[in-house]
Amino acid sequence: MTLALYVPGAGVVHRLPAAVKLLALVVLAVALFALPSVAAAGAALAGVVAVGLLVARLPVAVLARQARAVVWWLGALLAVHALTTDLRTGAHVALRLLTLVLAAAVVTATTRVSEMVRVVEALCTPLRLVGVRPARVGLAVAMALRFIPVLVERADRIRAAQAARGGSARGVRALRTTVAPLLVQVLQMAHDVSEALDARGADDDPSPRHRPQEAP
């Protein structure tokens, strides 16, 4: 299971506030689409890789893993454009995508989930007006990241248990025989997790950050 997650470090990029890094990501995305030149996209890619490897000092493997994850997409984009428009446009589009993916990887690898969650919560603050609790949104984001690997592991375990008893894990049938028991486990786990949240004071919310507006 390869989720781009935090790689501890103490450099400039790690110390930048999460909000700044996320904003930079947005600016980069806008710029990549506003400047329609392959040279600009190439320069941006070089810049992102330089920041990731030299400034943030991330292991090459962290970026390579993300690049590998989208390599089929890149190939497909190139192929589609080569057939419908021209190879140059295809290269440009693929370059843009790769640049953004790697930039996002640099941000996630240098930012703790909790800092990211803080930004999400801040962005959600206006939603208080309609009764949304930003802290809850933040928790949901963190929990999604936490439980994806858990679910993958449970699914693997189910497949292994079926294989051990001679079940074959292929095709639509295998999907059905894995999904049904996984769903049962997920529901059980959701119940267990909600109990654990209760036991750890999820309902307490006493800090100003969590507390809903006082009644007048």
Partner 1 sequence: MRFRRPGAAPAADDAADPARGIELRGVGHRYGERVVLDGIDLTLTEARVGVVGANGSGKSTLARLLNGLVVPTEGRVLVDGLDTRTQVRAVRRRVGFVFQDPDAQIVHPTVAEDVAYGLENQGVPPGERAARVAEVLARYGLAGHADHPAHLLSGGQKQLLAIAGVLVMRPARVVFDEPTTLLDLINARRVADVIAGLEQQVVVVTHQLDLLDGFDRVLVVDGGRVVEDAAPGPAVAAYRALMALR
Least distance CB 202 / partner 1 (angstroms):
6
Residues 20-59 that bind partner 1 (CB under 8 A): none
Residues 128-167 that bind partner 1 (CB under 8 A): 131, 133, 139, 142-143, 145-146, 149-150, 153
DSSP, collapsed to helix, strand or coil, labels residue 126 as helix
Q: Which is nearer to partner 1, 124 or 150 (CB)?
A: 150
Residue 57 DSSP one-character state: -
Is 124 an interacting residue with respect to partner 1 (CB under 8 A)? no
What are 137-146's contacts with CB under 8 Å, separation 24+?
139/202, 141/113, 141/116, 141/117, 142/113, 142/114, 142/117, 143/193, 145/3, 145/5, 145/113
Least distance CB 126 / partner 1 (angstroms):
16
Cα–Cα dist 37/9, whole Å? 34
Cα–Cα dist 123/133, whole Å? 12
Q: Which is nearer to partner 1, 71 or 202 (CB)?
A: 202
Task: Summarize as ranges the residues that interact with partner 1 (CB under 8 A).
Answer: 1, 3, 5-6, 8, 112-114, 131, 133, 139, 142-143, 145-146, 149-150, 153, 189, 192-193, 195-207, 210-212, 214-215
